[in-house]
Amino acid sequence: MYSCKDMANNSDSYSLNNSINSSIKNNFLALQTSAFTIVDMLARSKLISQAVCTVAKLKIADYLKDGPKSVDELAEESKTHPDSLYRLLRMLSSVGIFAETKQEEGRRESGDNNKRKFELTPMASLLQSEAKSSIRNFALLFGLESFNRAIDDLSYSIETGENSFKHANGLDIFEYFQQNQKEAQIFNSAMTSLTSLHVSSITSMYNFSQFNAVIDIGGGQGILLSTILKNYPNLHGILFDLPHAIESAKKLYVSNATTNSQDHNNNDDVLSRCKLIEGDFFKSIPAAPDADCCYIIKNVILNWDDESAAVILKNCLQAMKKTMTMNANQDNNKQKIHPKLLIIDTIMPEGNEPFVGKFTDILMLALTHKGRIRTEKEFHKLLNSSGFDIANIIRSPYSANFLSIIEATPSS
């Protein structure tokens, strides 16, 4: 027999057991959720990345530009296996890239790829080759074998601090591109796609009308420079990059000039105001045609360690000094003007908050010569040691644009 006291004790221990049980259950559920999150990160992220590269390569979004198509039609156009293509599109549709169109009840039978149709979604539209803000080229970059070999070899970078791109492919990334023109073309086009997404916010963040000339160092195919020149008809420009990049910039500038010749601020005019110069920024950087100028270095400093970045910056300083000397010789009455340097780059915030630059930073570790995303403090140190003072940092008011403009002038 239980006494009342025993019963009270029993009920206490029952509720204690209950609360222990529910706490164990909650801990287990939390563990389970965390484990699933990691499984999700491991399986999903890599598969989504590969799936997007695959549909970009196959031009599936291009085939859908005029409306929905059946899996069989898409498979025929892309020369793929219908059921496998269906499964790939089903997976991508689950994350908002493509959508299977609604069909009448009972018509969607298993394996009936003639009836299953897919259409573009806003995200899938951006994978079309000719879409405004197309990111197809960027997807193709992530599909390059050389790129993936380096990312798969990330543990080498973590163990040694050296770049896994060179370890996996035998050459530093920009040497590799100089010898592999096809991949270089994909890289340059990917950079152009990415920069196209930023140009309008960059031109609205900064007033370029104070200058007579803009020199874009490592400017790739010149999309930023040509946009600035279009917006400011009095400006002259120099695009400076490695020979293969200048070659592909020339093709792009000329083809834009011929296709858009009826444009008011037409591209012919941009071409006539812009010099395309090939060279190596570790050797020398060209002087500007006018001392009222700015040197832009966008998305370049992040590719290099401090020592190499300092060489680029010091060569830039030399070019600025040469520009000022030439300008002083030309016009003694002209007020002495210091050219400005604009570094357009991602600045790493302190702390643990989510930030896209933390992923770019690891890409830089794997792909480049000890490149990194720098904090504001690190930029101050790098620029000061290279003969510059930071005058101003302009951060983007648009959350999707994570680039800042660091305005620097030669130290006095």
Ligand X SMILES: C[S@@+](CC[C@H](N)C(=O)[O-])C[C@H]1O[C@@H](n2cnc3c(N)ncnc32)[C@H](O)[C@@H]1O
Footprint of ligand X (CB under 6 A): 174, 191, 195, 218-220, 241-242, 245, 280-282, 298-300, 303
User: Which CA distances in Å does 323 have to 210, 217, 284, 293, 317?
Assistant: 17, 15, 13, 9, 10
Q: How far is the CB of 90 from ligand X (least distance, A)?
A: 35
Q: How far is the CB of 379 from ligand X (least distance, A)?
A: 17
For ligand X, which is the closer residue by CB, 99 or 242? Answer: 242
For ligand X, which is the closer residue by CB, 220 or 339? Answer: 220
Furthest-apart CA atoms within the chain: distance in Å: 113
Q: How far is the CB of 198 from ligand X (least distance, A)?
A: 8
| DSSP percent split of the chain into helix, strand, coil, nearest 5 | 55, 15, 30
Q: How far is the CB of 342 from ligand X (least distance, A)?
A: 12
Q: How far is the CB of 210 from ligand X (least distance, A)?
A: 21
SS3 221: coil
For ligand X, which is the closer residue by CB, 191 or 214? Answer: 191
| Region label for 345, one of left (φ > 0), alpha (ψ between -120 and 50) or beta (otherwise) | beta
User: Which CA distances in Å does 151 have to 85, 187, 270, 366, 386?
Assistant: 26, 15, 38, 6, 32
SS3 111: coil
Element (H, E) at 37: helix 4-40
For ligand X, which is the closer residue by CB, 53 or 173? Answer: 173
For ligand X, which is the closer residue by CB, 89 or 276? Answer: 276
Q: How far is the CB of 192 from ligand X (least distance, A)?
A: 6
Q: How far is the CB of 191 from ligand X (least distance, A)?
A: 4
As a whole number of angstroms, the distance between CA 371 and CA 385 comes to 17
Q: How far is the CB of 165 from ligand X (least distance, A)?
A: 13
For ligand X, which is the closer residue by CB, 124 or 366? Answer: 366
SS3 361: helix
DSSP 61-107: HHHTTTS-EEHHHHHHHHT--HHHHHHHHHHHHTTTSSEEPP--TT-
Note whether 377 and 359 are within 8 A (CB): no
For ligand X, which is the closer residue by CB, 216 or 292? Answer: 216
The residue number whose beta carbon is nearest to ligand X equals: 218
For ligand X, which is the closer residue by CB, 235 or 242? Answer: 242
